[in-house]
Structure 1
Amino acid sequence: MTLASHSTDAAQPLSYSWLLTARRSDLAHFRRLAKLAMRKWQQDDAVTEVVLHGVTELLSNVARHVPDPRCRLELFLEDGAVRVTVLDSSPTLPRITLPDWTAEEGRGLWLLREMADSIGFEPTPEGKRVWVRISGR
């Protein structure tokens, strides 16, 4: 696991950021880190569950679809909402479509969009940014 971490303030950080290599075997570790951040930010269980789903889905997509799995995972607390962001090196933007319920994959972002307040993605000079926003508490 490749990991470098940063937070804005040790007492009450408003963001966390990790440089990592997205591997399915490491998802539980990053879910634990996100859960600790949600506790520090005093988010309720419903918000925490959506945040953890977002961490899992966004990092899984990097591991599955991006040739270079190095990425940045960011958590932000802004205006009472939590934003989960992943930046990766692929310029290919995700497509959120109605899933084929008989398929074994392909419904993650659609489900996340239904659970969160908003989801988005945009190109960056290095690849893309994918984010999900969940109203806090």
Structure 2
Amino acid sequence: MAENTWQRYELRLRVHPQTLADVRRAVGARLRLWGRDELITAAAMCVTELLSNVHKHAASPDCVLALQERPHGIYAAVSDTESGLPVVKEPDFLSESGRGMFLLSKTAHTWGTDLTPTGKTVWFTLRAEAVDP
């Protein structure tokens, strides 16, 4: 990767189930632009989970998605107006929902939640696998 100042992408959106495919395409396009193609599938899944939680649990569907290029991967965050924290539960594979944060916790390199004056930010990092020369 060439010398670079790490880039940031931010998208303000109103979450609705029909917007998720467009957001996944935007995430994929941004990661391709940054040369992080190997992270697209994992990033799209994790972002979709966070946005689905906004749709299901937040009082307002308005949120901000931020992506930032990092030396060994990416950082992604979704900020919303809900102060309730996400919970990772052991999945019930017979249930139609409730597996998302479990999958995110197993996919992301790190993840966490920061309370803000207006709600919270849930973030995750993904690391690119080292490639042998």
How high is the TM-score relative to the length of structure 1?
0.86
Deviation of the 1:60 alpha carbon = 0.8
Q: State the AA in 1 paired with 2:110.
A: S
Deviation of the 1:54 alpha carbon = 1.3
Distance 1:114 1:86 in 2: 18
Deviation of the 1:80 alpha carbon = 2.1
Aligned CA RMSD, in angstroms, stands at: 1.6
Specify the alignment match of 1:16 in structure 2. Answer: 9
Within the candidate set 48, 61, 67, 2:53 is matched to: 61
Within the candidate set 27, 32, 35, 2:20 is matched to: 27
Moved more, 74-83 or 120-129: 74-83
Specify the alignment match of 1:72 in structure 2. Answer: 64
Q: Please tell me whether residue 98 in structure 1 is matched to residue 99 in structure 2.
A: no
Moved more, 73-82 or 86-95: 73-82
Q: State the AA in 2 paired with 1:126.
A: T
Unaligned runs of 5+ in 1: 1-11
Distance 1:68 1:103 in 2: 25
How high is the TM-score relative to the length of structure 2?
0.88
Q: Is the contact made by 1:93 and 1:122 (CA closer than 8 Å) also made in structure 2?
A: no
Distance 2:89 2:71 in 1: 29
Unaligned runs of 5+ in 2: none
Deviation of the 1:13 alpha carbon = 6.5
Q: Is the contact made by 2:6 and 2:70 (CA closer than 8 Å) also made in structure 1?
A: no
Distance 2:6 2:115 in 1: 27
Distance 2:120 2:107 in 1: 22
**How many residues matched?**
126
Deviation of the 1:78 alpha carbon = 1.8
Identity over aligned pairs, percent = 34
Q: Is the contact made by 1:87 and 1:127 (CA closer than 8 Å) also made in structure 2?
A: yes
